[in-house]
Structure 1
Amino acid sequence: MSELKVTGLTCEYQVNPLGIGVHQPRLSWLLQSDRRGTMQKGYRLVVTVREDGFSEPLWDTGYVESNTSIQLAYAGGALQPRTRYHYRVKVWDNFGRESAWSEAAWWETGLLEISEWTAQWITPQASEIDPQTEASFLLRKRFQLGDGIASARIYATAAGVYELYVNGKQASDMLLAPGWTSYHHRLQYQTYDVTTLLQAGGNAIGVVLADGWYRSGMGFEGKNFTYGEHRAALLQLHVRYTDGTEAVIGSDLSWKASTGAVRYSTIYHGEIYDAREEQEGWSEATFDESAWKPVQVGAGLSYDVLVAQENAPTRVTQTLRPIAAFVTPAGDHVLDMGQNMVGRVRFTVDAPAGTRIVLKHAEVLDKNGNIYFGNLRPAKQKVEYMAKGGGSESYAPHFTFMGFRYVLVEGYPGQENGLPLNAFAGEVMHTEMEPAGEFECSDARVNQLQRNIQWGQRSNFLDVPTDCPQRDERLGWTGDAQVFISTALFNYQGGPFFTKWLHDLKAEQHADGGVPFVIPDVVGGSSSAAWGDAAVICPWTVYQYYDDTRLLSEQYESMKQWVGYIRAQGEQEFLWNTGFHFGDWLALDAKENSYIGATPTALIATAYYAYSARIVRDAALVLGKEDEARHYGELYEQVKLAFHDEFITKNGRIASPTQTAHVLALAFDLVEGDVKERVARELNEQIVGNDYHLTTGFVGTPYLCFALSNSGYHDTAVKLLLQESYPGWLYSVSQGATTIWEHWDSIKADGSFWSDDMNSFNHYAYGAIGDWLYRKVAGLNMDPSAAPAYKHIHLEPLFGLDKLTSAQAAHRSLYGRIAVAWRVEGEHIEVAAEIPANTTANLVLKGAALQKLQESGGALAEAEGVQAAVETDHSVRLTIGSGSYSFTYANKELFRHVFTENTRVDEVLNDETAAAVLRKHIPQFFSGAGFHFMKKSTFKQLTENTMAGISRGQVDAILEDLARL
């Protein structure tokens, strides 16, 4: 019997989320089917407050005829705070099948209203413990509970960062809670299920409280920003007994305070930990707290800014062991983790009390083999540990993180005989995003580039999308985020991550619509094109990936305000040619001693003006705001016309000769017809004429290969990708990079460095090339014009000819796993595709002919799931339903390419059938014997002049004969 199942239930992007603050949470599910072409025709969703109570539902949709299976908003009765809701789904499909009920899933609400908070903000009494001390605070509360504990939840947050302990055990493996938000506007609280940690009788809660982003001094040297002078904690425990009664214990003046073993911790500089200061059992009920000090109410802290946790928490997601330990020429003892990473080092040691061990973290070695700290600027990235003595001890920093591959170790016992590798481990830290994307191809260097892109994202998506994770910066730069967001969402499930960050962007947006350079804003400054446009590009991209109309609606006014801000600049309403801009940041065509590339900032600003106006138009259409859509559509056309008048000559040439100027005109559809063809041709000539090297910076680079591939110059884009010499993506790979660099030549060919002042070796912006790898090289794309979130998929692999012979990509969308893989072997091509249930796809097979196209070894006409097939001059376009497919065919485009590009000749000539056709049409090529074994170079030498003279008619005649074979 055929099978239809419902699996993968999620609520607000999460599996069984605890403590959410959404009043109408959105539910999604996956369909599994053993039949191709499966579409959902209807569903039934039931929600209850009791897992075994589906017979008494709170909300029962009944049968709903709909193919909706993602982002379905709860529409039952009002949700109650601190309540768990269970739900399950069944579906019907287009084959008349009815699934069984899915397994039940749940969500649990947090404190849905500010009035639910009864606890007080607390901090140690200032007369007893210096509020400015660098040591962490310890806060504790002892209390009694009765028998019959049914459930218990703690809701907690801090002005600072904190760890929570219950009866001597850490309540969660979350790190750096409550995360970094625009604290003056929004402060997340976390929910903990502590049911199993409590007991009848005596209990205790403990909180370790440190500075974190709140008081560490964020920003650049001399401008360190703090949100407040005093750390404080807020905590509320709700205990529910089996008889239905409740007990509530909150932070108040009955708590006690002390200082702990964390003597110092900041985000940039690291941590000092004195294990001799540990107070054993300090968070247990039996601990003697008589020497502890009273607390006071935290002054000036609000409840109004509290929101339930939106982002996934920061956690340790992987552990790496060092691959080597060595002594540098300077005499330093250094560990090599084998990977530039972000996180912390955990080590074990058995040493006398007071032994001081120091770890200093860095990303690279200099050309002499010494560990290099110059690019850290004032950031110390240092850990100091004083041993307690008396046996084996284990330690990792609590309230900081480092960006590093290499670790200089001082003071470890016996290190003069070599550092013991098994005593150290690198714990990788970042927001716990679910992996979503895969890419691999026939070139090992490109595969390493893909790994570098993913590691760069993991390194910098630590609660906010930071630019770099090591120096005195680590800020949520808006420009970096918007150029990388599509790559990011392909690689990892980033719905909660960007929801939280965009809410902060909206909160920080200026009254005039301007957007700060960084979010959260600890730098200040005016708005810049391509940076402030994150307010528009990021919510639109999240919508495209996840059909998240709620976030789009929440951010829509912010999007409009940004476009309104641009429109208000200067005297020319449809040009943005005033104010400060970062321009094409770090472009290689910049003037000496400048970071801003040669592309006029007014050209970049006006191009983004048009792009953002167009996106707001499209968002208005999605949200059903037709009048506003017309308004922004007209604005887009006016800005586009102004761009044309200002920056394109009457002969159709871009006034600025830079690569980036041409790229933006093409990528943002600012040129059409003959002008577009000329701009594309000239861009191609710029790349080819520069020996397949780029000169673009942060603005031009993300769109460069797209502009080439979409304009018919995909081969140039591939050659550009595969350029191993500076500048290019594979240059850093050739230099041993394991993450993306900030500069194309962060390390020069002679081993010297670009500079000390701004030289991150873990900077994800140029990793935006990943988006092109997935969409164009592998060919895995969405069709947002038909439906967002990969409801309708567009697969169109652009084969890399003899440079790339295979590629494959996969993406875990909200509908399920999508995959495409292709391989070229001679003139034969194989393309495999995997389409999840409840979606459809267009598949474009370049160089295929319907007559010879096979699926899974059989005729295409007999293939189940193929809904339509159309042949064009150069490809076959299929419409396919869900399922797994394998297509094979002879590539007629290969033969066309032989005559037009003079490549892959040897493969064609070694095919006797193809050679016979060629002999018929161009016999002068085959005057000698042994042509079947002729090498490409020999063939080219013999026919160089003749080949260029072959007409298109001759090529078409050859292809027609080949197609009939």
Structure 2
Amino acid sequence: MTRLLFFLCLLATATQAQKLAVTTPTCEYQHNPLGLGITTPRFSWVLTATRRNVLQTGYELVVSRDAGFRNVVWKTGRVKSDQSVLVSYRGPALTAGEKYYWRVRVWDNGGNASAWSTAQSFEMGLLQPGDWTAAWIEPGLPGDAVNKPAPLVRREFTLGKPVATARLYITAHGLYEAHINGQRVGDAYLTPGWTSYNKRLQYQVYDVTPLLKTGVNATGVLLGDGWYRGNLAWADTKNIYGSTLGLLYELRVTYTDGTRQVITSDKQWKSNTGPIVRAGIYYGEAYDARLEKTGWTKTGYADAGWQGVKVAEGGKDNLVATYGPPVRKHETFRAQKIIHTPKGETVVDFGQNLVGWITLKVSGKAGDRVTIRHAEVLDREGNFYTDNLRAAQAEVVYTLKGGGQEVYEPRLSFFGFRYIKVEGYPGTLTTENISATALYSDMPSTGSFSTSHPLINQLQHNIRWGQNGNFVDVPTDCPQRDERLGWTGDAQVFARTAAFNRQVAGFFNKWMHDVAADQQADGRIPFVIPNVLGQNDAASTGWADVVTIIPWTMFQAYGDTTFLRQQYPSMKAWVDYMERNSQHDLWNTGFHFGDWLFYRPFDDNDGTSAVTDKYLIAQCFRANSVQLMINAATILGRQDEAQAYSSQLKKIKDAFLREYATPSGRLVSGTQTAYVLALQFDMLPENLRAQAADRLVANVRQYGNHLTTGFLGTPYLCHVLSQTGHTDVAYDLLLQETYPSWLYPVKMGATTIWERWDGQRPDGTFQTPGMNSFNHYAYGAIGDWMYRRITGIRNAAPGYKHITIAPEPGGNIQQAAAELVTPHGSVSSAWKKAGAAFTLDVTIPANTTAEVVLPGAAGKKVIETRTALEQTGFAQKTTGSDITVTLGSGTYHFQYE
């Protein structure tokens, strides 16, 4: 009997322990990363538990050179801590190119211990220029230049023993696509990505062990102009970073007996051209299948007629490991229908404005040529419309080789389109002959949001697809015309929305390093990053402030203090530049875009354009950047700087009141944007805030419940209305269906966010084609308000360690639901109204706490699951008509009426 009781006790203890587990272990936001360039990597994990109110009280981390954890490099022992996000490695220096394994276990506030997590790994990249043995090589092709045939380079090599592991370290001047023994290396596209190449050139690392064999092997690499030397920006600008394509290739092989061999780019390689006769970011791709070099990436290929290569003097000091997510293929769209337009064009509709490319299936004679052009919209007559692409040709030209069905898709460019026009297709084109594939940075989806309102759901769809299409390695302003540049203002206004929809920590970390790299010596931030414009194209308010806004936004979303610390000098340089160039504490010099693309009526002579003084805007954004410096300095323990910036901020706000406001609080610009920014950035004393909010509301009502804001005012408009007690007005704006509004493009059939409120007018005509993208995420910043206010999910502490769930139902929306994967796990909020009854379901992840606001619950009988609220023991307080309860982790169901 005693032995039975002992056994049962052991079983109960084991069962209890199994309720606590470690899941989703990551290193630097990645699962088992290859090629880390960070010498003190950080580890994160998520706790899962079946009971409520679970908090981590301790953890133990172990890092080893082997998966069996016998050759331990570093172990923490049991650490008393609730930290489960971005725990830094503190062991001995890590070795370049080496693989390490790690695992973690945790203890909770119930005295339970988890099992060890599954073994994870990370592998270091090449950390110093001297870690490389490869040399830069360049194709030895006469006449190699922009818009010429894409070069191919190849070589064969022998491996004398069975291979245990093999890693390929590779980068290029230009784009590259690598192959070994006839198989493509990896699934990333447009590599090595776009950075400020002369300062930061990424390299990639691939596990190519399965591609190799004992004996003779072959490797081949396709090169393309890409962003490196191809046309960018305007005025036929090219060769921005260099005029010659190049390859850096280092294949490190470890044999089963422990010996090693290295195959590098050197003079043994050969070069030629192939079927891609022209390719460019704006141009597209021309492919002549008759020029294919069949088998050129396999052994035994006859390359006697190929040219040699030039061993170049390219340096390695600018090489950096890849940190951001690679560009990969994602959704595939079948052709929805084939349209024969009034002009007689053959047009294919994919039903979604996307970024990527088509896959063509075609049969015909050698020399038959199929031309495909890309467009976002049809005109009001139903014809193919490309005027808004400006100088971008955005075309594919495919020349058949003949002899059966041929399948083709581009590789050295990308396109923004919903429609394609097909010319020269031999035979009858059907929907089975063509499809489209979306291409964007591989950022995990983290957020979902839906409501009972179909148009709002479509708006959310459009926001996500605007993000997908414009997050192609850099945050672009539009992915279809002759631009596709990393506009800083667009990125900062959308950053919080972006961080809900997808995991963008790595994406923005990579890009913000280029912001710092391209920052000018005096502190100015260029309009676009990487900077391909000019030295004078910099320092515009709301654009340059990306340098303070995004690091702080990422800190709030992910709790990443290291990223904040890395960007701090860049933040400081910009804020100090504004201080040096201000006059009487006013930031009122230089060029500023202002409230870009704000509302202008169709007849711009009626005096109702919402023009906001650009220097008023500048002063507000300057104050915000200084406030973010105070915040960052405080977090980083720089108290003296925080105090100095606090003194500066007071002077800035005092100057704002003297210059831009009357004693009663009327602003010199009576626009929505002026009042929104003054309120959002706390430019007005407390006694003037209520009247300012009233003026804002009056303005909205004056325009018939329409917004009039542009890029800088729109992100904060509904937030300010809610913060000042006017959520009902925010709903009126959100649910407005006529121009200008968020739902007007939705009603017009949009599947992405438009650049302009009236990109296509009600009569079917278009805005000026010089600037009229139909895939531009900036106005999608309303998403942040929808997630934070409609479903109420907000971070009360960086990284969602503490959470607020405070839904604010309104309008004619009867139910709404959202889920967000935070660094600590999934948080969700779903509410429903049915007559007088209201239900709210929330999930709080383990190792966090939350304040949950029950709207309108005061004085009502509230039930949580099956227990009256007053009997649950939850800490609670009543504020106005709402009840706030303090909760630990778990799932909760509230209902009342």
* In 2: Cα distance, 1:171 partner to 1:869 partner: 57
Whether 1:95 and 2:110 are equivalent positions in the alignment is yes
> 2:599: which partner in 1?
588
**1:84-111 CA-partner distances (Å, limit 9, x unpaired):** 1111111000011011111111111111
Q: Which residue of 2 aligns with 1:808?
A: 817
Is the Cα–Cα contact under 8 Å of residues 367 and 402 in structure 2 kept in the other structure? yes
Deviations 1:180-204 (A, max 9, x none): 0001100000001110100110001
Q: Is structure 2 residue 35 aligned with structure 1 residue 19?
A: yes
The answer to whether the 8 Å contact 1:530/1:605 transfers is yes
Aligned residues: 877
Deviation track 1:474-522 (CA, whole Å, cap 9, x = no partner) reads: 0000000000000001110001100110000000001110000000001
Given that 2:59 and 2:79 are in contact with CA atoms closer than 8 Å, whether structure 1 keeps it comes out as yes
Aligned to 2:327: 314
Aligned with 2:749: secondary structure? coil
The AA in structure 2 aligned to 1:513 is G
Instruction: Give the match for residue 552 of structure 1.
Output: 564
Q: CA deviation at 1:368?
A: 0.2
Q: For residues 532-570 of structure 1, what are the alpha-carbon distances to aligned partners after superposition, in whole Å with 9 as ceiling and x for unaligned? A: 000000111111111111111111000001101111114
Give the superposition deviation at 1:56. 3.5
Q: Which runs of 5+ in 2 are unaligned?
A: 1-14
Counterpart pick for 2:589 among 578, 585, 592: 578
**Which residue matches 1:135?**
149
Q: Could you tell me which residue of structure 1 aligns to residue 489 of structure 2?
A: 479
Question: Residues of 1 paired with 2:249 and 2:693: CA distance?
Answer: 60
Q: Which residue number in structure 2 is paired with residue 832 of structure 1?
A: 841
From 637, 640, 653, the equivalent of 2:650 is 637
- Which aligned pairs between 1:130-209 and structure 2 lie closer than 5 A? 130-131=144-145, 134-209=148-223
- Tell me which residue corresponds to 2:799: 789
C-alpha distance in structure 1 between counterparts of 2:781 and 2:371, whole Å? 37
Map residues 707-726 of structure 1 onto 2, 5 A cutoff.
707-726=720-739
CA–CA separation in structure 2 for the residues paired with 1:132 and 1:456? 30
Per the alignment, do residues 468 and 546 of structure 1 end up closer, same or farther by CA in structure 2, a change over 3 Å counting? same
Q: Deviations over 1:147-196 (max 9, x none)?
A: 22110001000000000000111011110000000011000000011101
1:446 aligns with 2:453: no
Q: 1:203 to 1:223 in 2, by over 3 A?
A: closer
Aligned to 2:716: 703
Match of residue 888 from structure 1: 895
Of the three residues 462, 466, 471, the one matched with 1:461 is: 471
Of the two, which has the highest radius of gyration? Answer: 1
1:234 matches 2:248: yes
How far does the alpha carbon of each residue in 1:701-737 deviate from its partner, in whole angstroms, 9 at most, with x for none? 1100011111111001001110001000000000000
Aligned to 1:431: 441
The aligned counterpart of 1:913 is: none
Q: Aligned partner of 1:655: which letter? A: V
Q: How far apart are 1:873 and its partner, in Å? A: 2.5
Please give the secondary structure, in 2, of the residue aligned with 1:630. helix
Aligned counterparts, 1:209-248, within 5 A: 209-224=223-238, 226-248=240-262
Question: What corresponds to 1:75 in structure 2?
Answer: 90
**How far, CA to CA, are the matches of 2:731 and 2:239 in structure 1?**
44
Distance 1:190 1:597, change over 3 A: farther
- 2:238 and 2:115 map into 1 onto residues whose CA distance is 58
Q: Residue 12 of structure 2 aligns with which residue?
A: none
Instruction: Give yes or no for the alignment of 1:257 onto 2:249.
Output: no
1:628 aligned residue = 641
SS in 2 for 1:682: helix
1:537 is matched with which residue: 549, 557, 562? 549
What CA distance in whole angstroms lies between the structure 2 residues aligned with 1:519 and 1:82?
30
> Is the CA contact 1:483–1:699 (under 8 Å) kept in the aligned structure 2?
yes
Query: Which sits farther off after the overlay, 140-149 or 850-859?
Result: 850-859
Match of 2:355 in 1: 342
In the TM superposition, residue 613 of structure 1 has moved relative to its aligned partner by: 0.1
Maintained 8 Å contact 2:146/2:225 = no
Partner of 1:508: 518
Matched, 1:659 2:675: no
Q: Which residue of 2 aligns with 1:568?
A: 580
Q: Cα offset for 1:857?
A: 2.8
Per-residue deviation, 1:597: 5.7
Show the counterpart of 1:490. 500
> Does 2:264 match 1:283?
no
Distance in 1, matches of 2:571 and 2:144, equals 45
8 A Cα contact 2:284 2:393, kept in partner: yes
Structure 1 Cα separation of the partners of residues 124 and 184 of structure 2: 22
Q: Which amino acid aligns with 1:72?
A: V
Q: Distance in 1 between matches of 2:473 and 2:840?
A: 38
Q: Distance in 1 between matches of 2:576 and 2:239?
A: 29
Q: Is the 8 A contact 1:585 1:595 kept in 2?
A: no
**1:955 corresponding residue in structure 2:** none
- Report the counterpart of residue 6 of structure 1 in structure 2: 22
SS at match of 1:20: coil
- Report the CA distance between 1:349 and its aligned residue: 1.4
In structure 2, C-alpha distance between the alignment counterparts of 1:766 and 1:132, rounded to whole Å: 35
Structure 1 residue 118: deviation in Å?
Answer: 1.2
- Separation in structure 1 between the aligned mates of residue 871 and residue 414 of structure 2, nearest angstrom: 58
Partner of 2:660 in structure 1? 647
CA distance in 1, matches of 2:445, 2:861: 38
1:106 aligns with 2:116: no
How far apart, in 1, do the equivalents of 2:609 and 2:593 lie? 6
Shift of 1:889: 1.4
CA–CA distance in structure 1, aligned partners of residues 393 and 162 of structure 2: 51
Amino acid at match of 1:341: L
Output one character per residue of 1:293-318: Cα deviation in whole Å (capped at 9) or x when no partner.
1000235x321100011111001111
Match of 1:517 among 515, 527, 543: 527
Do the aligned residues in 1 keep the contact of 2:146 with 2:229 (CA within 8 Å)? no
Shift of 1:526: 2.8
- Cα offset, 1:761, TM superposition: 0.3
**How big is the shift at 1:862?**
4.2
The C-alpha deviation readout for 1:548-601, integer Å capped at 9, x for no partner, is: 1111111100000110111111432x2111111000001115995999961111
Listed as ranges, the matches of 1:843-858 within 5 Å are: 843-849=852-858, 852-858=861-867
Amino acid at match of 1:451: H
Q: Does 1:40 align with 2:56?
A: yes
**C-alpha displacement of 1:226:** 2.2
Structure 1 runs, 4 residues or longer, greater than 4 Å off:
222-225, 589-597
Structure 2 CA distance for aligned equivalents of residues 595 and 240 of structure 1: 71
Which of 865, 879, 883 does residue 876 from structure 1 map onto? 883
- Select 2:627's aligned residue among 601, 614, 626: 614
Contact 2:147 2:279 in 1 (8 A): no
Overall identity of the aligned pairs, in %: 48
Q: Describe the SS at the equivalent of 2:696.
A: helix
Q: Which SS does the other structure have where 1:852 is aligned?
A: coil
Aligned with 2:228: secondary structure? helix
Deviation at 1:55, TM superposition (A): 3.7
Q: CA deviation at 1:34?
A: 0.1
Question: Which residue of the other structure, out of 46, 62, 70, is the alignment partner of 2:77?
Answer: 62
Q: Which AA in structure 1 matches 2:482? A: D
The DSSP-based 3-state class of the residue aligned with 2:296 is coil
Give TM-score scaled by structure 1 length. 0.89
- Cα distance in 2 for partners of 1:130, 1:603 equals 51
Query: 2:655 and 2:43 mapped to 1: Cα distance?
Result: 44
